[in-house]
Chain A
Amino acid sequence: MVLEATMICIDNSEWMRNGDYSPNRFQAQADAVNLICGAKTQSNPENTVGVLTMAGKGVRVLVTPTSDLGKILACMHGLEIGGEMNLAAGIQVAQLALKHRQNKKQQQRIIVFAGGPVKYDKKVLEMIGRKLKKNNVSLDVVNFGEEDEGKAEKLEALVAAVNNNDSSHVVHVPPGPSALSDVLISTPIFTGDGEGGSSFAAAAAAAAGGVSGFEFGVDPNLDPELALALRVSMEEERARQEAAAKKAAEEATKQESGEQPSASQDATTISENVNTGTTEPEIKTKDLMDDDNALLLEALAMSMDESSSAVATRDTEMSEAAADDHDLQLALQLSVQEGTKDQSNQTEMNKLLGDQSFVSSILASLPGVDPNDPSVKDLLASMQSQSESQQNKDEDKAPKEEEKK
C-alpha cells in the first residue's frame, strides 16, 4: 500500500507494428499498461498514474498523474504509431511531470516500455540513472520487442544506476505465446508493490485464465471469513480422514452417531470440491451449507434409511436454506463435533461429485448460479476429467437425484 505517483512511458515507435506479440506489439503494450494502471490505483486510493508517449513527433504527455482510471484508459485510444523512441527525453519528461505532482508525499516511480532500439549509449543512460537515484525516483523497465545488440545490457546498466534498495527492476520479455500482461503479472513490477498489487494481479489472473493462485480458489483479501472457514474445514476433514482410517472397523455401529457430523462434513466436502476456480457459486454453496440443527437432524433421519437419498435431501435442503453468514460458526461446530467419518458415504460423495449431471443439477438449484456461465462450465469440465472412471457407478445414482428433485 505504498503511496506512489507513477509515470508510464509508452513506446509508439514504428517498431511496434510487429506481430511477434499477439495481436501486435502495440496492443500487447496497451493491455499491459491498462493492467498496471488498475493495479496501482487499486492498491492505494490516493495513488496517481500518468502516461506519456516517447516516439511520434516528440515526447508528449498524454495525461498528468491522476487517480482517475477512466481518464487514463481513454487517453490510450487513438494513439498513432510512428517515429523513433527517445528514451532519455522520455525519462526526463517523466521526471519533470512527477516533480510537479500535487501530493508531495507520494513516492516517485517511472515505468518504461522499451520496444524499439535504444540509440543512447551506456554512459548517458547511467548518468540519467544516477540523476533519478539522487532525486529518489524509482524506475521499472520492460524490455520487449526489438532485440538489439547491447539493448539489454544498456537497460540493465540504467536500472543498476537507479536502483536503491531493490526498488527498481528491469524485466526482459521475449516474444512467445503468452501475452505480455500475463508475463508481467508475475514480475516484481506488479508484486514489488507489496500485497496490494499482488492481490489485484492474482484476481486478474483468476479472471483471465481460471487459474487461482490461492488455496481453495478464494482470495483472502476479498472474503477473509470464507477463506478462513474453508481452511479450517479442510484441516478438520484431513484430521477426520485419518481418524476414520484407524476406526474403519467401527463404521457400522457408529454410523448413526456419525451421520450428524459427517452430514455437515460431507456438505463441507461438496463446497470444497465445487469451490475450485469460481467464486460466486462457492459463496452461495458455503452460505447454503450452514444448516440449522433441525436440518441436520432431518438429514440424519434420512440418512438412516438410505445414504444416497440423504445426500439428495441435504442438497435440496441446502438450496432452500437461507443464506446466512455463519461461516465461522460452522467451522467451530466442525471442530467441536466428534465422530468418525463414514468411509463408504465419503466415497459415494466423491463419485456423486464426479458426476457432471449431478453437480450441474445442484448448481442449477443454487440461486444466482447460471449453469451456462463460462466459469461454471470450465469447473464442470475440470471435474468431469477428474472422475471419469466413476461415471458408470454414478449414473444409477443420478436418476435417483433427479427423481427426488
Chain B
Amino acid sequence: MACLHDHSCEEHDCSSDWSLYKHIDLSKVSALNEAVSGSVKSVFRAWEQRLNSSEGHLESNEGDPELIVFIPFTSDVKIKSISIVGGAGGTSPAKMRAFINRDGIDFSDAQSMQPVQEWDLVENLQGVLEYQTRYSRFQSVGNITLHFPENFGGETTQIHYIGLKGEATQLKRDVVATIVYELRPNPSDHKTRSETGGGLSQVE
C-alpha cells in the first residue's frame, strides 16, 4: 500500500500535512529493545527535518532487529498515512505492524496479537514514501504502537524518522494525571460552595 509522493514540494507546503508530530505526547513515548534509552524521542520531527538526524536516531540492540515504538497522543487523532525513514546497509525495517489504543504491549504480545494493519516496507532513505492506512480503522487514535519485526538483513534496525499524516481532533481521553495522597483531610482544601459564597448549600 505504498504510494509515491507525486508532486514537487514547492507547490504546496507538505509540512503542514505531516504535522501530527505536534500532537505526540513526547514525554510518554517509549520503545522496547532500543540500544540507547530515550533515543526514540528523536525520531519525531517536522517534515523538512526528516533527513536531519543530527539529534540521534533509534537503533535496536546488537543482533536483534525487533523494535516496538509506543506513541501516545495528547488528543485523539485520525491517521491517514505513515512514513518511515530507515537506515542504510540493510538496517531499514522490512515490516510494520500497528496496534491502536493498547497499553504496555511487549514482544510476546506483539507477536501473538493480530495487528490493526500490517505493511511491507521498502528501503526509504529519502523519506519520499508514505504508507496509507485503512482510514476507517484509524479514526480515534489515543495511542499507536508500531512493531517492526524484521529488517533487510542488518545487524541492527535503525529508524531515523517516523512521520504521521492526518488530523487531530480536540477530544482528549480521560486520564488521571496526578494523584494526591491525603493522610488526613484538611478542611481548607475542601471548601464547599456555601463557604466560598454563592451556590446552594446541601441540606443534610
Contacts and interface: CB of A to CB of B under 8 A. Distances in A.
Contacts of B103: 104
Contacts of A45: 181
A130 B104 contact: no
Contacts of B181: 45
A99 B107 CA distance: 11
Contacts of A99: 106, 108
Nearest to A136: B32
B61 A133 contact: yes
Contacts of B66: 134
B66 to A, nearest CB: 7
A221 interface: no
B61 A134 contact: yes
Nearest to B106: A135
A136 B71 CA distance: 17
B64 interface: yes
A164 interface: yes
A253 interface: no
B156 to A, nearest CB: 13
Interface in B96-142: 103-104, 106-108
Contacts of B32: 134-136
B33 interface: yes
A164 B107 contact: no
Contacts of A134: 32-33, 61, 64, 66, 107
- Count chain B CB atoms within 10 A of each CB in A104, A130, A134, A165 and give the residue with the most: A134
Interface residues of A, number: 10
B15 interface: no
A165 B108 CA distance: 23
A300 to B, nearest CB: 41
Interface string A281-313: 000000000000000000000000000000000
B49 interface: no
Main secondary structure of the interface of A (DSSP, over half): loop
Contacts of A136: 32, 106
B16 interface: no
Given A45-B181, A135-B32, A165-B37, A130 B61 contact: yes
Interface string B57-100: 00001001010000000000000000000000000000000000
Contacts of B106: 99, 135-136
B64 A130 contact: yes
A133 B66 CA distance: 13
A133 B108 CA distance: 14
Interface string B10-54: 000000000000000000000011000100000000000000000
Contact of B104 (A104, A133, A164, A165): A104
Nearest to A137: B106
A164 B37 contact: yes
A232 B108 CA distance: 57
Contacts of B64: 130, 134
A134 B111 CA distance: 14
A130 B60 CA distance: 12
A192 to B, nearest CB: 16
A136 B104 CA distance: 11
A88 B64 CA distance: 21
A135 B61 CA distance: 12
A99 B66 CA distance: 19
A330 to B, nearest CB: 27
A385 B61 CA distance: 60
Contacts of A135: 32, 106-107
Contacts of B61: 130, 133-134
B86 to A, nearest CB: 20
Interface hub of B37, B106, B108 (most chain A Cβ within 10 A): B106
17 contacts: A45-B181, A99-B106, A99-B108, A104-B103, A104-B104, A130-B61, A130-B64, A133-B33, A134-B32, A134-B61, A134-B64, A134-B66, A134-B107, A135-B32, A136-B32, A164-B37, A165-B37
Interface of A: 45, 99, 104, 130, 133-136, 164-165
Q: Name the 3 nearest CB pairs between A and B, nearest first.
A: A104-B104, A134-B33, A104-B103
Given A133-B61, A134-B32, 4 more contacts: A45-B181, A130-B64, A134-B66, A135-B107
